[in-house]
Structure 1
Amino acid sequence: MIAVQGLAGARVAVLGLGRSGLSAARALAEGGAVPLCWDDTPSARERAEAEGFQCQPFRDARDFDGIARLIVSPGIPHLYPAPNPVVAAAYLAGVPVDNDIGLFFQSFATSAWHSFDVAPRVVAVTGSNGKSTTSALIHHILTDVGRPCQLAGNIGRGVLDIDAPHDGEVVVLELSSYQTDLARSLTPDIAVFTNLSPDHLDRHAGMGGYFAAKRRLFAEGGPDRAVIGVDEPEGRYLAGQLSEGPSDDRVIRVSVEARLTGPGWQVFARKGYLSEYRKGKQTASIDLRHVPGLPGAHNHQNACAAYAACRSLGLAPKVIEKAFHSFAGLPHRSQLVGEKDGVKFVNDSKATNVDAAAKALSAFDRVRWICGGLEKEGGLGALGDAPTVRKAYVIGREAAGFAMQLPVEAEVCTTMEKAVAQAVAEAEPGDVVLLAPAAASFDQYDNFEKRGDAFVAEVKKYL
């Protein structure tokens, strides 16, 4: 556990008692603070009270008398579409609002580091798509070469639940826009920006607010090195803002859409080959076409970002390449479930927005596409013509309306059971039955993992 520093003896309010909220309460108590907790759900309060934490409501500004800080869980709105009433009361009372990520960066370094030969480092990864795979891949590479490391944040353990770092250890964090938007302290050593596409727009009042939340990791944190995906205008803008000039190698530009040139540091993938260029000269090349855990251009982008981060940590290209081949991928992210009679079944339930789904579709030549769910803002226009799709099988409560927007032949199936059964019945050797919903899961499932599990269960009936 990372004990929170700087708040010993202070009364600190904690709003939301899920994984991150309870973790924050424990870390605050470990550091000598007095956490006062609240969650609207009685069962959540009961869990906190069972651990010995005091629960009390915060109805208005007067309830914040004597409170040093409010710690808010990531799912609770703090600004858009409207602040949660407790957060609004804290603002009125002048109480600083923070989250567990802010507490982590405030508390990560300790006096114990004075005895270390190599100070621990933090690699923080954000972006719309690919941040989980990129984070897990960085962690896998470091583990493969024997470098001590931990994986936390939006993937793996809560940031305050990790062990106190050892000499030379690397902590890899996946951070969502919800987490970077509110954290009062953001100081990673290496920060990674994968890409940007419309997502969570209601929570950030549009694309500008969404990008601003991601940008805070770089603008507020001032990382020693920034790895920036430059295939969107926002990434190119961010790289330009952080760089002192074309040869400034503190910024590593990453692309899967263009061959990057210039005197700086670039990593890009073209036609399945990853290339690294520094000072205008190629320094490494890796064939990604036969890396089983990283299929498709979108995963090649993840590979480029992870490669750049690991090169920043001093790893050699050959050891990174070796680790690529043993990376199994993550569940629900281009996960190969199985193959039968020449038909592959791939679970990409994490493709919850249109851009992620489009990238998943482009990874295969002949797709039987299972899609649908709770449609997000912006519609489905970014899919384009979806040329690799032979037919779509649409699930979700609003399946008919979703199907009408698709640029391909579509059948309304509503349920996962029917969609898989129909895709299996019509699939031919060489086809890929792909779950890439391009939508949230909450109309039918608690989360994308449950949706992916449902797909896997139906496929296994056939396999």
Structure 2
Amino acid sequence: MIPVLGFAGRRVVVLGLGRSGLSAARGLSAGGAEPLCWDDRPEAREAAAEQGLTLHDLSRREAWEGVASLIVSPGIPHLYPRPNRWVADAMEAGVPLDNDIGLFFRSLAADGFHRFESPPRVIAVTGSNGKSTTSALIHHLLTESGRESQLAGNIGRGVLDIDPPGDGGIVVLELSSYQTDLARSLTPDVAVFTNLTPDHLDRHGGQGGYFAAKRRLFAEGGPDRAVVGVDEPEGRFLANQLVEAPEDDRLIRISVERKLSGPGWSVAARKGFLSEWRKNRQIASIDLREMKGLPGAHNHQNACAAYAAVRGLGLGPREIEPALKTFTGLPHRSQLVAEIGGVRFVNDSKATNADSAAKALAAFTNIRWIAGGLGKDGGIGAAAEYLGHVTKAYLIGHSARDFALQMDGTEHEICTDMATAVARAAADAQPGDTVLLAPAAASFDQYPDFERRGEDFAACVRRLAG
């Protein structure tokens, strides 16, 4: 556990008692603060009370008296589309807001760090798509090369629940826009920006606010090194803002869409080959095409980001390449569930928007596409350009009929539920086909989360296999 510094003897309210809120409460208590916990859900309050945490009813008139800070969980809005009522009350009372990520960065350095031969470092990864795979891949590359590494944030453990890093230890954080938007302290040693596509726009007041939330990771803390995807205008703008001159190698640009050149440092993947260039000279080349844990251009982008991040910490290409080959991928992200009669069944339930579904569709051909759920603005939108890869679509969930109207001549069938969709796709599939779950929609119409949706798909596939 990381004890939270700076609040010893002070009262701190923790709002939202999911994983991050409970972690924050424990970290505050370990640092000598008095955490006061609240959640509008009775079951969450009961679970916190069972852990010995103090509940604090925020509806009471005196609720904010003597409170030093309000720690807000990521799912709770603080500005757009409108502030949560308790957040609004805190701001009215002049109580500063923060979150567990801000507490982590202000508290990570310990008294014993000065005795370490190599101080611990933090790699923080943000972006719209690929954050989880990139973070997990960085962690994998580090551990395979013998470095001490811990994975936390939006993936793995709560940031304050990790062990204090040891000599040369590295903490890899996946950070969402909800987390970077509010954290009062953001000081990673290496910051990674994968890409930017429209998402969470209501929460950030539009695309500009969404980008601004991501940009804070680079603007607030001034990382020693930045890895930036430059395939979108926002990434190119961010990269431009971070350098003092074209040869400034504090920045590593990454791309899977363009050839990168110039005197700076870059990593790009084209036609399945990752290439590193520095000072107009090629440093390394790695063939990604047969790496089963990294299929498709979107995973090649993740590989570029992870490769660049660990290169920025001093790992060599000869260490990185064999570790890339042993990466098996993450559950629910282009995960090969089974191969039955020459037909692959791939679970990409994490494709909760059209852009991430497009990346999954681009990675395969002869696709039997299972899509649908609680659709987002624009429907299948960005995925439409890859409908040529789709032999037939099998549509489920709340948005099945809306998606059907956007199929643009692609054969499709409304199946409503997962079991029906898997059964129909499997019956139609021929050897060489891929049955792909890439919903392009949220899961909340039929499942509590995308993980449960992916697990249901996998269970349906296992029943096919007998």
Paired residues, number = 463
Alignment check: 8 A CA contact 2:4 2:104 kept: yes
- Tell me the CA shift for residue 77 of structure 1: 0.7
Task: Give the aligned residue type for 2:452.
Answer: K
Deviations, residues 204-252 of structure 1 (Å, cap 9, x unaligned): 1111111111111011111000000000001001001111121111110
Deviations, residues 25-64 of structure 1 (Å, cap 9, x unaligned): 0100000000111011112111222222211221377521
State the distance in 1 between where 2:180 and 2:378 align: 23
The question of 1:214 aligning with 2:211 is answered no
State the distance in 1 between where 2:133 and 2:79 align: 29
Give the 4+ runs in structure 1 shifted more than 3 A: none
Give me the TM-score of the superposition, normalised by structure 1: 0.99
Which of 426, 430, 433 aligns to 1:431? It is: 433
> What is the SS of the residue equivalent to 2:283?
strand
Alignment check: 8 A CA contact 2:195 2:232 kept: yes
Bigger shift: residues 55-64 or 364-373? 55-64
State the distance in 2 between where 1:383 and 1:53 align: 46
State the distance in 2 between where 1:284 and 1:61 align: 63
- Tell me the CA shift for residue 449 of structure 1: 0.2
User: Aligned runs of 1:114-263 on 2, under 5 Å?
Assistant: 114-263=114-263
Alignment check: 8 A CA contact 1:17 1:45 kept: yes
Task: Give the aligned residue type for 1:359.
Answer: K
Deviations, residues 359-408 of structure 1 (Å, cap 9, x unaligned): 10000121110000111123332223321111110010231122112232
Q: In the alignment, what sits opposite 1:337?
A: 337
Alignment check: 8 A CA contact 1:368 1:390 kept: yes
Task: Give the aligned residue type for 2:406.
Answer: Q
Q: In the alignment, what sits opposite 2:264?
A: 264
State the distance in 2 between where 1:328 and 1:32 align: 41
Q: In the alignment, what sits opposite 1:401?
A: 402
State the distance in 1 between where 2:422 and 2:48 align: 41
Bigger shift: residues 445-454 or 402-411? 402-411
Deviations, residues 148-176 of structure 1 (Å, cap 9, x unaligned): 11000000000000001100000000001
Q: In the alignment, what sits opposite 1:91?
A: 91
State the distance in 1 between where 2:307 and 2:119 align: 21
Task: Give the aligned residue type for 1:202.
Answer: D
> What is the SS of the residue equivalent to 1:136?
helix
- Tell me the CA shift for residue 110 of structure 1: 1.2
Q: In the alignment, what sits opposite 1:293?
A: 293
Alignment check: 8 A CA contact 2:56 2:63 kept: no
Alignment check: 8 A CA contact 1:289 1:295 kept: yes
State the distance in 2 between where 1:338 and 1:384 align: 26
The question of 1:392 aligning with 2:393 is answered yes
> What is the SS of the residue equivalent to 1:350?
coil
Q: In the alignment, what sits opposite 1:310?
A: 310
State the distance in 1 between where 2:389 and 2:403 align: 19
The question of 1:441 aligning with 2:443 is answered yes
> What is the SS of the residue equivalent to 1:391?
strand
Alignment check: 8 A CA contact 2:375 2:398 kept: no
Task: Give the aligned residue type for 1:284.
Answer: A
Give me the TM-score of the superposition, normalised by structure 2: 0.98
> What is the SS of the residue equivalent to 1:345?
strand
> What is the SS of the residue equivalent to 1:371?
strand
Alignment check: 8 A CA contact 2:361 2:383 kept: no
State the distance in 2 between where 1:332 and 1:4 align: 33
Task: Give the aligned residue type for 1:452.
Answer: G
Q: In the alignment, what sits opposite 1:3?
A: 3
Deviations, residues 324-368 of structure 1 (Å, cap 9, x unaligned): 111010000000011111110100000111110001000012111
Which of 421, 445, 463 aligns to 1:419? It is: 421
State the distance in 2 between where 1:462 and 1:357 align: 24
> What is the SS of the residue equivalent to 1:339?
strand
Q: In the alignment, what sits opposite 1:377?
A: 377
- Using the aligned pairs only, state the percent identity: 69
Alignment check: 8 A CA contact 2:226 2:252 kept: yes
Task: Give the aligned residue type for 2:444.
Answer: F
State the distance in 1 between where 2:79 and 2:285 align: 45
Task: Give the aligned residue type for 1:124.
Answer: A
Alignment check: 8 A CA contact 1:61 1:92 kept: no
Task: Give the aligned residue type for 1:340.
Answer: I
Task: Give the aligned residue type for 2:87.
Answer: V
Q: In the alignment, what sits opposite 2:68?
A: 68
State the distance in 1 between where 2:399 and 2:308 align: 41
State the distance in 2 between where 1:330 and 1:167 align: 28
Q: In the alignment, what sits opposite 1:30?
A: 30
State the distance in 1 between where 2:59 and 2:246 align: 53
Task: Give the aligned residue type for 2:430.
Answer: E
Alignment check: 8 A CA contact 1:370 1:437 kept: yes
State the distance in 2 between where 1:451 and 1:245 align: 47
> What is the SS of the residue equivalent to 1:406?
coil
State the distance in 2 between where 1:355 and 1:165 align: 36
State the distance in 1 between where 2:263 and 2:72 align: 43
Task: Give the aligned residue type for 1:416.
Answer: M
In the alignment, structure 2 segments of 5+ residues that lack a partner are: none
State the distance in 2 between where 1:462 and 1:51 align: 42
State the distance in 2 between where 1:107 and 1:410 align: 53
Deviations, residues 176-215 of structure 1 (Å, cap 9, x unaligned): 1111111000000000000111111111111111111111
> What is the SS of the residue equivalent to 1:390?
strand
> What is the SS of the residue equivalent to 1:64?
coil
